[in-house]
Structure formats: structure tokens, C-alpha cells
Amino acid sequence: MSEKIRLFCLALAAALLLAGCVVPQIYPTVRESNISLQPGDLEAHGIAFITPSAATGQEEEKQAIALIFAGTLRDERKNVRVLALAQTLGAINRAGLADAYKRMYDDYEDTGLFKGDILQQIGTATDTRYLAQIKIQSFAQGAMERFGIFGLRIVMTNTAAVRLFF
């Protein structure tokens, strides 16, 4: 009887160790809606990213998220001309629109609106028709120890959850 119990315990331990290897690690959720873009619009006119906003206390993450988002869009839609945030800000600076851009963002904080005339000037400076702003709604990071012995972490899962409005 003890041999059967020992084999059962060994099989159970092996199953528990292997269980961490077969569980999916990424659970993306995506919701999207198309407001007015028609097929071919982005390809024909391009898109430029402007400074993201954050209501999460993670303001230092804004530029990194904008860079990743623009890079992913560029990789996934190779036929779309994408200007990352740094390129957009450079074009705004070269066009002498820095003060107007700052005022536009100051007004945005109070009203939730971007002034159309400044957006048109930025579009002209970047030679794009579409400007995109990412709003970071939430950002959370964590880690979960899945298997450890005597304080030694053998298997650990790092997690990140980001909620964006584009």
C-alpha cells in the first residue's frame, strides 16, 4: 500500500510541476470601434501621435506607451505612414507651434477638447491628416509566485495590465 501512495504522490508532484508549463500566460482583451475612418484613409493620409494623457499617476509611462503603440502600428500596418511621438514633437517644434501646442493641452485639461485650428496646423506640420492621442486609463504591474521552496522562487509570473483609450 505504501508503494502505491508513494507513486501517487510522485505523480501528483509531477502533475503540479508540469501544470505551470501548459497554462496560457497572456490574456489580452481588446475592444474597438471605428468612428469615421474608411478603408484606405490611414494609408493615404498617415497618422501622427501627439502627447498621451494619463489619469493613473503613471505619467512617466506616457512616452514609453506612445512609442510602443506607434511601433506596433508601424509593424502591423506597414503601408501606413506612422509618426511616433518624438517625430511629431520635432515637427511641431520646427514649425514654431510649441507654445500653441502647450496652450492646446492646457485647454484640453479644462475642457476635454483640442482646438481644431491647432490640430490642423499640427497636421500640416507633420504632413498627416490623422492625429492620435492615447489616454492611459489604468496601469498595474504585479508578480505572482507560482512555485517556490524555502523562499527560493523557482517559477514566478510577472503581470501587467494596461487600459488605454485611443
Bridge-based pairing state of the strands 135-149 and 53-54: parallel
Task: Tally DSSP H helices, then E strands, for the chain.
Answer: 6, 6
Given a contact cutoff of 8 angstroms between Cβ atoms, the answer to whether 97 and 125 are in contact is: yes
Distances (CA, A) of 7 to 10, 83, 131, 153: 5, 61, 63, 26
pLDDT at residue 56, as a whole number: 60
pLDDT digits (tens, 9 = 90+) for 56-107: 666 677 788 888 889 988 998 899 999 999 999 999 999 999 999 999 988 9
Mean pLDDT of 119-137: 91
Mean pLDDT of 116-145: 87
Distance CA 86, CA 92 (A): 10
pLDDT digits (tens, 9 = 90+) for 1-38: 577 777 777 776 666 666 655 555 566 666 666 667 78
